[in-house]
Amino acid sequence: MRKSKEEIAEIYRGVQDHICAELTRHDGEGHFSEDQWDRPEGGGGRTRIFTQGKIIEKGGVAFSAVHGKTPEKILKKLKLQEADFFATGVSIVLHPKNPHVPIIHMNIRYFEMDNGTFWFGGGIDLTPHYVIPAEARHFHTEVKKVCDQYETGAYDKFKKWADDYFFIKHRNETRGIGGIFYDHLKPTTDEDFTKTLDFSVAIGHLFPDIYGYFMQKNHSKPFTSTEQAWQNLRRGRYVEFNLVWDAGTKFGLDTNGRTESILMSMPPHAGWEYMHTPAEGSAEAKTLAWLKKDIDWVNWKS
């Protein structure tokens, strides 16, 4: 028998707990503060913000379970019939101190309406300030393992979706090295429903393992003021994507979500420089050359 929306919300609460415990362990110094909040129209959530970290400069791990009348803007955009909605999920963005540790994002979510409409969505993607192909291969290989356990061909389909989704159109570059993205997964049997839910939870459990790897591998690397300035420029690109193109940000604001929790993905510092062009042959220029779609990272060879 498939899980109810309340049971799914409870499972996602557990995913949040697991991720927060593991990130605290990997960082070694920082801690989460919790902010529980209520949505006037129905539901609420708990937003956990990571502070005083050794490795993570700013991080947010947010859980929400909200419900109520579906806003007209959402009905029109998604071409849905009028009905009340329920949405629950976990959303995470981490911004590290060291430019050699990447930014990471993950989201798992479930959406249901009282007319029977429902679907799953989510994904995980990596945004290095400096693209290291071997590290990109490691990330995509680990993500593919989880996808392969879910469904044959899922990785290729969801990777393509991520490449297209996490594309900064006005810059003609990808936000990072991608990952996977999926939305509107509508399993037709109880067995497939359970399998899809389990897949979303597996992505949630992969998150601290894969990011813990990058935290421990790179946080002690020395960096220069030039590299830190580049980090802030890449953070600026992250801000541009989230505010201009990200559907989750728009959905949260359109459903009168909690603004502070929606915008927890913003970095603590960001930079913009007019017509900035990295020096030819520099590590920064090489990173820009990797920010394009359809790179086969799993089979990349040096």
Helix and strand numbers, DSSP H then E, in the chain: 9, 9
Q: Tell me the whole-structure pTM to 2 decimals.
A: 0.94
Specify the pLDDT at position 74. Answer: 79
pLDDT at position 252 over 90: no
- Tens of pLDDT, residue by residue over 153-180, are 999 999 999 999 999 999 999 999 999 9
pLDDT at position 257 over 80: no
Specify the pLDDT at position 253. Answer: 83
- Tens of pLDDT, residue by residue over 82-111, are 889 999 999 999 999 999 999 999 999 999
The mean of the pLDDT values for the chain is 94
Residue 258 CA from chain centroid, whole number: 18
Among candidate residues 222, 223, 113, 240, the one with its CA nearest the CA of residue 176: 240
> What phi and psi values does residue 269 have, to the nearest 5 degrees?
-145, 150
Q: Name every residue whose Cβ is closer than 8 Å to that of residue 228 and which is 6 or more positions away in sequence.
A: 99
Q: Counting beta carbons within 10 angstroms of the beta carbon of residue 38, is it exposed (0 to 12), middle (13 to 18) or buried (19 or more)? A: exposed
- Tens of pLDDT, residue by residue over 219-247, are 999 999 999 999 999 999 999 999 999 88
Question: How is the chain split into domains, by residue range?
Answer: 5-290
Specify the pLDDT at position 138. Answer: 98
Cβ atoms within 10 A of the Cβ of 103, count? 21
Tell me how far apart the alpha carbons of residues 197 and 200 are, in angstroms, rounded to a whole number. Answer: 5
CATH architecture group of domain 5-290: 3-Layer(aba) Sandwich (3.40)
CA angle 248, 251, 256 (to 5 degrees): 130
Average pLDDT over residues 19-37: 96
The answer to whether 175 and 166 are in contact (CB under 8 A) is yes
CA angle 128, 129, 133 (to 5 degrees): 50
> SS3 for 117-174, per residue?
CEEEEEEEEEECCCCCHHHHHHHHHHHHHHHHHHCCCHHHHHHHHHHHHCEECCCCEE
Residues designated as active site: 105
Phi-psi region of 229 (alpha: psi -120 to 50; beta: other; left: phi over 0): alpha
* % of the chain exceeding 90 in pLDDT: 85
Average pLDDT over residues 31-52: 93
pLDDT at position 281 over 90: yes
The answer to whether 269 and 232 are in contact (CB under 8 A) is yes
- Tens of pLDDT, residue by residue over 125-142, are 999 999 999 999 999 999
* % of the chain exceeding 70 in pLDDT: 100
